[in-house]
Structure 1
Amino acid sequence: MTVEITIQVPDELGQELRQMHDRLPEVLARGLREVQAEAQPSSLDEQAIIEVLTSQPTPAQILALRPSTEFQQRVSALLERKKQGGLTGPEVIELERYLLLEHLVRMAKARALQHPHRAA
Protein backbone atom coordinates (compact mmCIF):
# COMPACT_ATOMS: atom_id res chain seq x y z
CA MET A 1 0.00 0.00 0.00
CA THR A 2 1.23 3.50 -0.75
CA VAL A 3 0.05 6.96 0.24
CA GLU A 4 0.34 9.99 -2.00
CA ILE A 5 1.39 13.17 -0.19
CA THR A 6 1.56 16.68 -1.59
CA ILE A 7 3.61 19.28 0.27
CA GLN A 8 4.84 22.79 -0.37
CA VAL A 9 8.51 23.45 0.26
CA PRO A 10 10.82 26.40 -0.41
CA ASP A 11 12.29 26.52 -3.94
CA GLU A 12 15.82 25.63 -2.81
CA LEU A 13 14.63 22.54 -0.94
CA GLY A 14 12.39 21.59 -3.85
CA GLN A 15 15.36 21.62 -6.21
CA GLU A 16 17.37 19.43 -3.85
CA LEU A 17 14.47 17.01 -3.51
CA ARG A 18 14.07 16.78 -7.30
CA GLN A 19 17.65 15.50 -7.48
CA MET A 20 16.70 12.79 -4.96
CA HIS A 21 13.42 11.90 -6.70
CA ASP A 22 14.13 8.16 -6.80
CA ARG A 23 15.09 8.10 -3.13
CA LEU A 24 12.41 10.38 -1.64
CA PRO A 25 10.76 7.63 0.46
CA GLU A 26 14.17 6.77 1.95
CA VAL A 27 14.96 10.47 2.58
CA LEU A 28 11.64 10.96 4.35
CA ALA A 29 12.01 7.78 6.39
CA ARG A 30 15.51 8.71 7.55
CA GLY A 31 14.46 12.24 8.40
CA LEU A 32 11.44 11.01 10.32
CA ARG A 33 13.56 8.55 12.34
CA GLU A 34 16.03 11.29 13.21
CA VAL A 35 13.31 13.70 14.32
CA GLN A 36 11.63 10.99 16.40
CA ALA A 37 14.94 10.04 18.02
CA GLU A 38 15.61 13.67 18.94
CA ALA A 39 12.26 13.79 20.73
CA GLN A 40 13.24 11.05 23.20
CA PRO A 41 12.96 12.23 26.82
CA SER A 42 16.57 11.32 27.68
CA SER A 43 17.97 13.77 25.14
CA LEU A 44 18.52 16.36 27.91
CA ASP A 45 20.94 14.03 29.64
CA GLU A 46 22.65 13.34 26.33
CA GLN A 47 22.79 17.09 25.66
CA ALA A 48 24.30 17.78 29.10
CA ILE A 49 27.11 15.30 28.48
CA ILE A 50 27.83 16.83 25.07
CA GLU A 51 27.90 20.30 26.62
CA VAL A 52 30.52 19.22 29.14
CA LEU A 53 32.65 17.55 26.47
CA THR A 54 32.56 20.62 24.24
CA SER A 55 33.26 23.17 27.00
CA GLN A 56 37.02 22.55 27.25
CA PRO A 57 36.62 20.72 30.55
CA THR A 58 39.46 19.96 32.91
CA PRO A 59 40.58 16.34 33.26
CA ALA A 60 38.83 16.24 36.64
CA GLN A 61 35.55 17.37 35.07
CA ILE A 62 35.84 14.71 32.38
CA LEU A 63 36.63 11.99 34.90
CA ALA A 64 33.64 13.07 36.98
CA LEU A 65 31.21 12.61 34.08
CA ARG A 66 28.49 10.12 35.00
CA PRO A 67 25.23 9.52 33.15
CA SER A 68 22.03 9.79 35.15
CA THR A 69 20.29 6.67 36.37
CA GLU A 70 17.48 7.28 33.87
CA PHE A 71 19.98 7.55 31.02
CA GLN A 72 21.69 4.31 32.07
CA GLN A 73 18.35 2.53 32.38
CA ARG A 74 17.27 3.68 28.91
CA VAL A 75 20.50 2.43 27.33
CA SER A 76 20.21 -0.88 29.20
CA ALA A 77 16.62 -1.30 28.06
CA LEU A 78 17.56 -0.59 24.44
CA LEU A 79 20.46 -3.05 24.60
CA GLU A 80 18.18 -5.73 26.03
CA ARG A 81 15.56 -5.14 23.34
CA LYS A 82 18.30 -5.27 20.70
CA LYS A 83 19.35 -8.72 21.97
CA GLN A 84 15.75 -9.84 21.58
CA GLY A 85 15.51 -8.30 18.10
CA GLY A 86 12.75 -5.90 19.05
CA LEU A 87 14.13 -2.42 18.30
CA THR A 88 12.20 -0.01 16.09
CA GLY A 89 14.00 2.15 13.53
CA PRO A 90 14.05 5.22 15.79
CA GLU A 91 15.30 3.10 18.70
CA VAL A 92 18.18 1.77 16.57
CA ILE A 93 19.23 5.35 15.81
CA GLU A 94 18.84 6.34 19.46
CA LEU A 95 20.98 3.42 20.65
CA GLU A 96 23.65 4.15 18.04
CA ARG A 97 23.81 7.77 19.25
CA TYR A 98 24.15 6.65 22.86
CA LEU A 99 26.88 4.14 22.02
CA LEU A 100 28.80 6.78 20.07
CA LEU A 101 28.47 9.19 22.98
CA GLU A 102 29.70 6.52 25.38
CA HIS A 103 32.69 5.89 23.11
CA LEU A 104 33.53 9.60 23.03
CA VAL A 105 33.30 9.84 26.82
CA ARG A 106 35.59 6.82 27.22
CA MET A 107 38.12 8.35 24.82
CA ALA A 108 37.98 11.68 26.70
CA LYS A 109 38.45 9.89 30.03
CA ALA A 110 41.42 7.90 28.70
CA ARG A 111 43.02 11.14 27.52
CA ALA A 112 42.25 12.84 30.86
CA LEU A 113 43.99 10.00 32.68
CA GLN A 114 47.09 10.52 30.51
CA HIS A 115 47.15 14.27 31.31
CA PRO A 116 45.61 14.59 34.79
CA HIS A 117 47.28 17.93 35.60
CA ARG A 118 46.41 19.83 32.43
CA ALA A 119 45.19 23.35 33.17
CA ALA A 120 41.58 24.27 32.49
Structure 2
Amino acid sequence: MKFTIDLPEALPTRLNAQEQSLSQVLEVGLDELIASPQTGFTGFAEVLEFLANLPTPEEILALRPSETLQAQIDQLSEKHKAESLTPQEKHLWQQYEYLEHVISMAKAKAYLKLNPQ
Protein backbone atom coordinates (compact mmCIF):
# COMPACT_ATOMS: atom_id res chain seq x y z
CA MET A 1 0.00 0.00 0.00
CA LYS A 2 1.28 3.46 -0.78
CA PHE A 3 0.98 6.05 1.99
CA THR A 4 1.88 9.74 1.86
CA ILE A 5 2.57 11.88 4.93
CA ASP A 6 4.28 15.16 5.81
CA LEU A 7 7.35 14.65 7.99
CA PRO A 8 9.53 16.98 10.05
CA GLU A 9 12.60 18.10 8.12
CA ALA A 10 15.20 15.85 9.80
CA LEU A 11 13.12 12.67 9.82
CA PRO A 12 13.40 11.67 6.12
CA THR A 13 17.19 11.46 6.40
CA ARG A 14 16.91 9.16 9.40
CA LEU A 15 14.25 7.05 7.69
CA ASN A 16 16.33 6.68 4.52
CA ALA A 17 19.01 4.97 6.59
CA GLN A 18 16.37 2.41 7.69
CA GLU A 19 14.64 2.06 4.32
CA GLN A 20 14.81 -1.74 4.22
CA SER A 21 13.25 -2.06 7.66
CA LEU A 22 10.81 0.87 7.49
CA SER A 23 7.77 -1.38 7.97
CA GLN A 24 9.34 -2.81 11.11
CA VAL A 25 10.25 0.68 12.38
CA LEU A 26 6.63 1.79 11.98
CA GLU A 27 5.26 -1.39 13.55
CA VAL A 28 7.54 -1.21 16.60
CA GLY A 29 6.84 2.51 16.96
CA LEU A 30 3.09 1.96 16.86
CA ASP A 31 3.37 -0.85 19.38
CA GLU A 32 5.26 1.50 21.72
CA LEU A 33 2.60 4.20 21.32
CA ILE A 34 -0.32 1.84 21.81
CA ALA A 35 1.12 -0.09 24.77
CA SER A 36 -0.51 0.75 28.07
CA PRO A 37 2.07 2.04 30.57
CA GLN A 38 -0.06 0.98 33.55
CA THR A 39 0.39 -2.70 32.70
CA GLY A 40 4.19 -2.70 32.80
CA PHE A 41 7.15 -1.15 31.09
CA THR A 42 7.03 -0.89 27.31
CA GLY A 43 10.63 -0.06 26.50
CA PHE A 44 14.13 0.81 27.57
CA ALA A 45 13.45 4.46 28.36
CA GLU A 46 10.68 3.57 30.80
CA VAL A 47 12.94 1.14 32.68
CA LEU A 48 15.71 3.70 32.93
CA GLU A 49 13.28 6.39 34.13
CA PHE A 50 11.82 3.94 36.63
CA LEU A 51 15.26 3.09 38.04
CA ALA A 52 16.31 6.75 38.06
CA ASN A 53 13.42 7.46 40.45
CA LEU A 54 15.10 5.17 43.02
CA PRO A 55 12.15 2.82 43.52
CA THR A 56 11.67 0.78 46.67
CA PRO A 57 12.80 -2.84 46.68
CA GLU A 58 9.15 -3.91 46.53
CA GLU A 59 8.58 -1.76 43.42
CA ILE A 60 11.65 -3.24 41.75
CA LEU A 61 10.51 -6.79 42.47
CA ALA A 62 7.07 -5.96 41.02
CA LEU A 63 8.54 -4.61 37.75
CA ARG A 64 7.17 -6.50 34.73
CA PRO A 65 7.07 -5.86 30.97
CA SER A 66 3.79 -4.84 29.37
CA GLU A 67 1.83 -7.54 27.55
CA THR A 68 2.76 -5.91 24.24
CA LEU A 69 6.47 -5.89 25.02
CA GLN A 70 6.35 -9.44 26.36
CA ALA A 71 4.70 -10.56 23.11
CA GLN A 72 7.47 -8.86 21.12
CA ILE A 73 10.13 -10.51 23.26
CA ASP A 74 8.43 -13.90 22.91
CA GLN A 75 8.27 -13.51 19.13
CA LEU A 76 11.95 -12.56 18.95
CA SER A 77 12.81 -15.45 21.27
CA GLU A 78 11.14 -17.93 18.92
CA LYS A 79 12.96 -16.47 15.92
CA HIS A 80 16.22 -16.52 17.91
CA LYS A 81 15.76 -20.21 18.71
CA ALA A 82 15.07 -20.90 15.03
CA GLU A 83 18.14 -18.82 14.11
CA SER A 84 16.04 -16.70 11.76
CA LEU A 85 16.56 -13.19 13.16
CA THR A 86 17.23 -10.37 10.73
CA PRO A 87 20.23 -8.15 11.59
CA GLN A 88 17.86 -5.53 13.06
CA GLU A 89 16.03 -8.15 15.10
CA LYS A 90 19.34 -9.57 16.31
CA HIS A 91 20.35 -6.11 17.54
CA LEU A 92 16.98 -5.66 19.28
CA TRP A 93 17.30 -9.14 20.84
CA GLN A 94 20.72 -8.21 22.22
CA GLN A 95 19.24 -5.02 23.70
CA TYR A 96 16.45 -7.01 25.36
CA GLU A 97 19.00 -9.46 26.76
CA TYR A 98 21.01 -6.60 28.26
CA LEU A 99 17.88 -4.95 29.67
CA GLU A 100 16.84 -8.23 31.24
CA HIS A 101 20.31 -8.56 32.78
CA VAL A 102 20.07 -5.06 34.32
CA ILE A 103 16.60 -5.76 35.68
CA SER A 104 17.72 -9.12 37.10
CA MET A 105 20.60 -7.44 38.90
CA ALA A 106 18.27 -4.78 40.32
CA LYS A 107 15.81 -7.45 41.47
CA ALA A 108 18.56 -9.51 43.10
CA LYS A 109 19.77 -6.48 45.05
CA ALA A 110 16.19 -5.57 45.99
CA TYR A 111 15.60 -9.11 47.25
CA LEU A 112 18.76 -8.97 49.36
CA LYS A 113 17.64 -5.67 50.91
CA LEU A 114 14.32 -7.21 51.87
CA ASN A 115 15.85 -10.48 53.05
CA PRO A 116 19.26 -9.76 54.61
CA GLN A 117 21.31 -12.85 55.38
Shorter-chain TM-score: what band?
A: 0.5 to 0.7
Partner residue in 2 for 1:103: 101
TM-score in terms of structure 2 length: 0.61
Structure 1 residues 97 and 43: alpha-carbon distance in aligned structure 2, compared to 1, 3 A threshold = farther
* Counterpart residue number, 1:86: 84
Give the aligned residue type for 1:62: I
Q: Which residue is equivalent to 2:75? A: 77
User: 1:109, 1:51 → 2: CA distance?
Assistant: 16
Q: Which has the higher contact order (CA 8 A, sep 6+)?
A: 1
The code of the aligned residue for 1:96 comes to: Q
**Residue identity in the other structure for 1:97:** Q
Aligned residues: 86
Q: Are 2:79 and 1:61 aligned?
A: no
Unpaired segments ≥5 residues, structure 2 = 1-16, 34-41
Q: TM-score, normalised by structure 1?
A: 0.60
RMSD of aligned alpha carbons: 2.8
What code does the residue aligned with 2:46 have?
Answer: A
Listed as ranges, the matches of 1:2-81 within 5 Å are: 40-41=28-29, 45-46=42-43, 47-81=45-79
